[in-house]
Amino acid sequence: MKYAGRLAAVAFVGALSLAACGTDNNTGASGTTAATEAAADSGLSGTINAAGSSAQANAIDQWKKEFQAKNSGVSINYQPSGSGAGIQAFIQGTVALAGSDSALKDDEPAKADARCKTGKAVNIPMVTGPVAVVYNLPGVEGLQLSPKTLGGIFNSKITKWDDPAIKADNPNATLPSTPIQAFHRADESGTSDNFTKFLEATADWPYEAAKAWPAEAKGQGAKGSDGIATSVKDTEGAISYVEMSYADNSQLQKAKVANGSGEFVELTPESAAKTVETAEIKGTGNDLALSIDYATKAPGAYPIVLVTYEITCEKGLSAEESKLVKAFLTYTASDEGQAALKDLGYAPLSGELLTKVRSTVEAIS
């Protein structure tokens, strides 16, 4: 099933230690203002300890502020420890909610289902996080890079900024002979997973897509999205990949990237949305794992996007856990919660996909 003009999302991650009390909220799949009011009137209390994807940390900070203002008895503690750590903590049963920039895969679904015991684990997209190719090259604005050139840079085959491949992408630019300093995530990361999926699908990339950066590709590692942004900002000649929100917050230079038709596209929430328009839901039932076409030829489509998922049990949490998880996700999927994303460098959900997200959250019990 394909969805036009809809953005899938990046979202919360977490571990949960809580006690919840009060009336059941009356939220529905519509996600209207009433849904937000229901969460606010729920009388919930407890502590949500969260950890996982760093891609949606800025979104979590905003949601946390607003949700706690409406639910004074709830405290949310969030640690952006990376997608891999969040998934492992969920599988081990130490958290009730995991945030990941890629859906469960390989042997993870079976392990996650086993952790849920009486139900299945579900992937719930909450925010789209466009992935920026960021660089530090004073005097060179509007840099253009094709997927093949990016593959060569990040595989340490292209090592100078005036390499013929980069010149071919930028015929009118004056490029310095500065050495390229390519940074990648040192920790297991859904951002790395999505970026290498893009390279695998579009470039001469000899490695399998994975959360862990391939050692053979070399380069320099930095931990977390904050670490990547800081490293690029502090290093002339640097290049890396990081979520748009971090690129904007750090005022980093962003490259235009060629999509499947060869069109060099500037990264904006709108251009990223055009790529998500071609995404298909590959999950079944209430599982909303998406398949993204990184080689999209849609006009004006920026091809590198990631979706951060809320991973939790559809059924199988304790009654107390499910109340608090459901209330928080009801808020993040509400009109108010989604509207807060655009100013943070994310893209909000809309249309039929958002309706399905709200239905999945409503089914948590």
Q: What one-character-per-residue DSSP string does 73-123 give?
A: TEEEEEE---HHHHHHHHHTTS-SBEEESS---TTHHHHHHHHHSSS-EEE
pLDDT at 42: 56
Instruction: Name the token pair of 153.
Output: 């840079």
Name the residue among 39, 17, 10, 11 with its Cα closest to residue 26.
39
> Was 83 annotated as part of a binding site?
yes
Instruction: Name the token pair of 18.
Output: 């809580």
Q: Say if strands 253-254 and 144-145 run parallel, antiparallel, or are unpaired.
A: unpaired
What is the residue-level pLDDT of the chain in tens, covering all 365 positions? 433 333 333 333 333 333 333 334 444 444 444 444 444 445 888 877 777 888 888 898 999 899 999 998 888 877 788 888 999 999 999 888 889 988 999 899 999 999 999 999 999 999 888 899 999 999 999 999 999 999 999 999 999 999 999 999 999 999 999 999 999 999 988 889 999 999 999 998 999 999 899 999 999 999 999 999 999 999 999 999 999 989 998 999 999 999 999 999 999 988 887 887 778 899 999 999 999 999 999 999 999 998 889 999 999 988 888 888 899 999 999 999 998 988 888 888 877 888 999 999 999 99
pLDDT at 13: 35
> Was 365 annotated as part of a binding site?
no
Per-position DSSP letters for 329-349, written without gaps between them? HHHHTSHHHHHTSGGGT-B--
Residue spans of the domains in the chain: they are 46-129+280-289+306-363, 131-275
65, exposed or middle or buried, with CB in 10 Å at 0-12, 13-18, 19+?
exposed
> Was 54 annotated as part of a binding site?
yes
> Was 55 annotated as part of a binding site?
yes
**What is the CATH topology of the domain spanning 46-129+280-289+306-363?**
D-Maltodextrin-Binding Protein; domain 2 (3.40.190)
> Was 350 annotated as part of a binding site?
no
**SS3 (DSSP) at 298:** coil
> Was 189 annotated as part of a binding site?
yes
Instruction: Name the token pair of 130.
Output: 């466009």
Q: What share of the chain is helix, strand, coil (3-state, %, to 5)?
A: 35, 20, 45
Instruction: Name the token pair of 156.
Output: 């340490």
171, exposed or middle or buried, with CB in 10 Å at 0-12, 13-18, 19+?
exposed
Fold match flag (46-129+280-289+306-363 vs 131-275): yes
CATH assignment of 131-275, given 1.20.1250.20, 2.60.120.920, 2.30.110.10, 3.40.190.10?
3.40.190.10
d(CA 35, CA 332): 10
pLDDT at 292: 92
> Was 101 annotated as part of a binding site?
yes
Residues 6+ apart with CB under 8 A from 241: 131, 132, 133, 134, 184, 191, 192, 195, 228, 304
> Was 42 annotated as part of a binding site?
no
Give bridge partners of residue 305 from the DSSP assignment.
130
